[in-house]
Chain A
């Protein structure tokens, strides 16, 4: 109940910030010095948010597709030998700082959204890959045995049994990736990608904490709402997979 109220408030606050930012002028004024503008107006917050979400959406979709495909590949008999390699790649992707990826990608791709997409893509592989791996290698053996014994082909077993049963755990991985990417995407604005990071960076450059708080607040609210949406999706898919008794 309290959680629901909190979420509704978060959604309402986010909507208000995006659609009528001017109404918060007095709220942010105490954070400013020397009559600096309390609200970021160079680009509309709504447009920055949409572009931020689009970047994150594209990157998360790409890392999900690649990581799930990789997880499926290395759990097949023919792909088992690629498991250590795949683990190394995804771990390096996670540990290599996204800032360094940006620095390396800019000379090759130029400024803009490109380098940010690459950084987020690499950064997001690990959670989805590891969860896919865990999910696919811990499926109930009797179900897999029955599926084989009834004459489902390899492909049918994958699509009709393994992936549906693995879905809740894979979605948990996507949730982590989405939330991490949402926060990490802000640094994309250091190389001129249109993200909420632009507001934060503007705040840092002009020593205006009001901008920093605005950018951070919107990003944080988005993260909370997306996290919650994914959790609902996960429990829905777990119910559908017959893995949890409906309440």
Chain B
């Protein structure tokens, strides 16, 4: 669990972050969203004290972050950034080993951890372990960056626009993988993004920030259906709202008994994709593999956020 307690950061009297309090439960993902200059990155960097708070406290579990030496605190917290920041003069394996080495792990343990993480991130250790980062593709570099952040099994992982430099296709895959790995490891994750789509995709809770203030901290469905201020509403995008709402659940949730022609769709398909398929193929219902159907009417009803 991580708790931000009335955090503020002032630069020469001007507040960049103003009185932000929020709690992220263990194993949850919190997405910090806002326009540039909203203070979201400063807020994130106060958690591992890359920026020292002017006022307020950060609690990581029962520990007051201000009571630990900054470099020791940072070794306990994973940190992944846009443009990955891999050390260009160190191999992939050495990059992943950085924090475990700082923490004084035994070499055999480090080596096993490198292989384990590389397999987890779909990089064959035999091929990539001894390569320098520049010999990897952008997507691979980004995965190494996240693997490196997770190397010392941190209880908390901070990410600052980690997928910002990736093209859309690789980006979507990276988000899915991150979500799956985060669920598997149970790591608490705070991720900064300017992309509401990404926040909805990843976040268990979304914190919307503007001009240094926290406007709303709520689950994605609530951000979509009950935006706290006009700014939040604008950020969500009125035109996108129904589709984003649908993207939060899978076909499984709307499955009902019945029969429909055509190739069955996977129950893990998002409702948004199911709607797109109905519209594209001009059909009123789609069969779901494993039995049952999902109807256009049900999808439509689910997308009506205003009536809730």
Query: Does B14 have its Cβ within 8 Å of any Cβ on chain A?
Result: no
Which of chain B's residues have a CB closer than 8 A to the CB of A144? 85
Q: Smallest CB–CB gap between A239 and chain B, Å?
A: 9
Q: Smallest CB–CB gap between A218 and chain B, Å?
A: 38
Stretch of A89-97, A147-155, A223-231 at the chain-chain interface: A147-155
Query: Does B207 have its Cβ within 8 Å of any Cβ on chain A?
Result: no
Nearest A-chain residue to B103, judged by Cβ: A151
Which of chain B's residues have a CB closer than 8 A to the CB of A142? 81-85
Q: Smallest CB–CB gap between B106 and chain A, Å?
A: 19
Are A143 and B73 neighbours in the complex by a CB distance under 8 Å?
A: no
Chain B residue total in the interface (Cβ 8 A): 30
Query: Does A7 have its Cβ within 8 Å of any Cβ on chain B?
Result: no
Are B73 and A151 neighbours in the complex by a CB distance under 8 Å?
A: yes
Are B99 and A165 neighbours in the complex by a CB distance under 8 Å?
A: no
Nearest B-chain residue to A243, judged by Cβ: B88
Query: Does A161 have its Cβ within 8 Å of any Cβ on chain B?
Result: yes
Nearest B-chain residue to A160, judged by Cβ: B87
Q: Smallest CB–CB gap between B232 and chain A, Å?
A: 29
Query: Does A29 have its Cβ within 8 Å of any Cβ on chain B?
Result: no
Query: Does B86 have its Cβ within 8 Å of any Cβ on chain A?
Result: yes
Query: Does B67 have its Cβ within 8 Å of any Cβ on chain A?
Result: no
Q: How far is the CA of A241 from the CA of B98 in the complex (A)?
A: 16
Are B74 and A242 neighbours in the complex by a CB distance under 8 Å?
A: no
Q: How far is the CA of A156 from the CA of B71 in the complex (A)?
A: 11
Query: Does A87 have its Cβ within 8 Å of any Cβ on chain B?
Result: no
Question: Known contacts A145-B81, A242-B134: does B72 contact A151 (CB below 8 Å)?
Answer: yes
A-B contact count (CB 8 A): 72
Nearest A-chain residue to B132, judged by Cβ: A242
Which of chain A's residues have a CB closer than 8 A to the CB of B133? 242
Which of chain A's residues have a CB closer than 8 A to the CB of B74? 148-151
Q: Smallest CB–CB gap between A138 and chain B, Å?
A: 14
Query: Does B89 have its Cβ within 8 Å of any Cβ on chain A?
Result: yes
Q: Smallest CB–CB gap between B12 and chain A, Å?
A: 18
Are B134 and A245 neighbours in the complex by a CB distance under 8 Å?
A: yes
Are B102 and A240 neighbours in the complex by a CB distance under 8 Å?
A: no
- B99's partner among A151, A153, A164, A245 (CB-CB below 8 A) is A151
Query: Does A205 have its Cβ within 8 Å of any Cβ on chain B?
Result: no
Query: Does B50 have its Cβ within 8 Å of any Cβ on chain A?
Result: yes
Per-residue A-contact encoding for B137-152, CB less than 8 Å = 1, 0 else = 0000000010011000
Query: Does A146 have its Cβ within 8 Å of any Cβ on chain B?
Result: yes
Are B89 and A164 neighbours in the complex by a CB distance under 8 Å?
A: yes
Are A151 and B71 neighbours in the complex by a CB distance under 8 Å?
A: yes
Question: Known contacts A151-B74, A152-B71: does B99 contact A143 (CB below 8 Å)?
Answer: no
Q: Can you report 22 residue pairs joining A to B where beta carbons are below 8 Å apart?
A: A140-B88, A142-B82, A142-B84, A143-B87, A144-B85, A145-B81, A146-B79, A146-B84, A146-B85, A148-B50, A149-B74, A149-B81, A150-B74, A150-B79, A150-B102, A152-B102, A165-B88, A241-B89, A242-B89, A242-B133, A243-B89, A245-B135
Task: Beyond A149-B79, A153-B71, A241-B89, list 11 extra A-B contacts (CB 8 Å).
Answer: A146-B145, A150-B149, A151-B71, A151-B72, A151-B76, A151-B99, A152-B98, A241-B88, A242-B87, A242-B132, A243-B88
Binding site for A on B (CB under 8 A): 48, 50, 71-76, 79, 81-90, 98-99, 102, 132-135, 145, 148-149, 158
